[in-house]
Amino acid sequence: MSASGTAATGQVEHMLRQVTPGRYDAYEALLRALATPSTGQVWMLLWRGQAGSPDAQYGAMEVDGHGYAPCVTSAQELSASGWNRSYEVIDALEAARALYPDHLGLWLNPHAPGGGVGIPWLDLRRIATGLERQPAGPLRLAEPAVEIPQFYALLAQNAHRTPAVRTLRRAWVQPALGAPYLAIGLDVYDAGPASVDAVRAMMQRSVGAVPDGLPVSTVTMTDDHDPVVLWMRAQARPFYDREAHAPAVPAAPAQAPAAGYGYPPPARY
């Protein structure tokens, strides 16, 4: 391995050593290192086949009911693991893109003392699509407690005037890092350009009723890989429903269990 490759591997392994229970800042730094092609190489352990062959298949492991593909972070760790089958050296970004659609995470150095560190599929999705595009988990989600009836009323009114909108839901999102915010779930009849433009205009006409300093974001209810969307589907009744011809009664406040998001318990670190 070249000197630059050794330095890159060293950065991932340095970040890996910083991850301890509750150190979400260190965990985010590890994700950033993995998401960077110059630093994020991993040695994927192949259960069958050879690297690059059509029959190549990653190894598999299950932790607390969640699936992961095991890997190691350097040639030295590969030797220490005792793995005697084939392996494939790829960017973690590439591995993330391959694994997260199947709800599979990535487990780093499972042979290491303490069992290594698991990257849940939700965080692989963040790596694959951009870490800054989704909030840092594990998330705490609940029905919003903030009282902003003017905004909800205006949004429901504007939604009724926007034929593309079927329903609206809401959630209060507290990321592991960063400020909490209000998420609006948009369920639309179609996702064509005209509908997207109409819904964007609807939100722009409505956000003026949001109090200063209150962050508001939107999610598309058809996204099967967004944890906020998954929570809304299970826990949040629509506050606007076109087919009910009236605003719906809000659901009672609810808290989603962190385990449901694929994050291993702190003891796993």
Give the pLDDT of residue 245.
62
Domains of the chain: 3-134 (3.40.1350.90), 140-261 (3.30.300)
* Residue 75: closest CA among 33, 114, 40, 43: 43
Give the pLDDT of residue 249.
46
CA distance 125 to 139: 15
Phi-psi group of 248: left, alpha or beta (phi > 0 → left; psi -120 to 50 → alpha; rest → beta): beta
Task: Tell me what percent of the chain is helix, strand and coil, each rounded to the nearest 5.
Answer: 40, 25, 35
Task: Extract the runs of DSSP E, i.e. beta strands, from the chain.
Answer: 41-48, 57-58, 61-63, 66-72, 87-91, 105-108, 117-119, 140-142, 165-174, 181-188, 216-220, 240-241
Strand, helix or coil at 31?
Answer: helix
Angle, vertex CA 113, rays to CA 107 and CA 118, nearest 5? 20
How far, rounded to the nearest angstrom, does the alpha carbon of residue 48 sit from its chain's CA centroid? Answer: 29
pTM higher than the cut 0.75: yes
Each residue's pLDDT tens digit in the chain (269 positions)?
Answer: 444 444 455 788 999 999 988 899 999 999 999 999 888 899 999 999 888 888 889 999 999 999 999 999 999 999 999 999 999 999 999 999 999 999 999 999 999 998 999 999 999 999 999 998 889 988 999 999 999 999 999 999 999 999 999 999 999 999 999 999 999 999 999 989 999 999 999 999 999 999 999 999 999 999 988 999 999 999 999 999 998 865 554 444 434 434 334 333 433 32
98: Cα within 13 Å, side-chain hemisphere: 12
Give the pLDDT of residue 248.
52
